[in-house]
Amino acid sequence: MSRFSGKVAIVTGSSSGIGRATAVLLAQQGAKVTVTGRNAEKLRDTVNQILSNGGKSEDINQVIGDLTDSECQGELVKSTLERFGRIDILVNNAGAAFADPSGKIGIEAEVGLFDEMLKVNLRCVVELVQKCRPHLISSKGDIVNVSSICAGPSPFLYYTYYGIAKAGLDQLTRCLSLQLIEHGVRVNSVSPGLISTNFLGAVGFPNDAVKKTEEYFSSQKDCIPAGRPGRPEEIATLIAFLADKKSSDYIVGQCIVIDGGTSLALGMPSHDLSKVL
């Protein structure tokens, strides 16, 4: 029997990067999955990857939409229940950072960006957990949130608002874990460091700048002691571990760092990225 045979997972932000890798892995290991994102073409690519890795079309549910919209969240839950009849695993991966068009960083950045980043990285997680909660209690399921080392304890000046939102997500993970464990639902989170995804590109970095940033930080031992950025599949493996009660049943309310040693070396936050680019 496959690891997640009979389980149903919702993976948000699954049209690329960590979310896509997680959806592919969970499906490969037997789960029925709901994938969701705003870009229909990219979401089709995720579905195709699931199928090419042994997944079945009848075990895949797609929801295209903006997860910050409460109606989209409702459709996500409703369609999953209609298609599969239950929810066992919720992976809150959807998130984003936004660059100030003027180039300002830190506390000088437009405060409207702060509101947007709280909405996409924290508020929508709260709302989706509220909607999934009774179904996860029924299945004694698992929640895995995707945070970031930007949440602290070291500050990342270029991601001040994003880091604040992710710090809130870490605290939400701890609070939810205490509230839900009595119902048999575990809540944990992962905090990735620099990962080779389109995250920097989505922030507004051109492709050459993304490559240059990854190469620079990888070459600095006080930034990434492991000497390379992480791969989405490595984060997906940790998420699957935390979603699997047989592997991690006694892990509750933990925010697990997976960053190639960045948070130990503490050098990356002190580097001026403008000088790299």
What positions carry a catalytic annotation? 162
Contacts of 58 (CB under 8 A, 6+ apart): none
Calculate helix-pair angle for 232-243, 17-28, nearest 10 degrees: 50
Strand order, beta sheet including 8-11: 60-64, 32-37, 8-11, 89-92, 142-146, 186-192, 255-258
CA distance 60 to 23: 10
Work out the angle at residue 229's Cα, subtended by the Cα atoms of residues 226 and 231, and round it to the nearest 5 degrees: 115
Contacts of 186 (CB under 8 A, 6+ apart): 142, 143, 177, 180, 242, 245, 248, 249, 251, 252
Quote the tokens at residue 4: 């997640």
Tell me the backbone φ, ψ of residue 12, rounded to 5 degrees: -85, 155
CA distance 130 to 112: 25
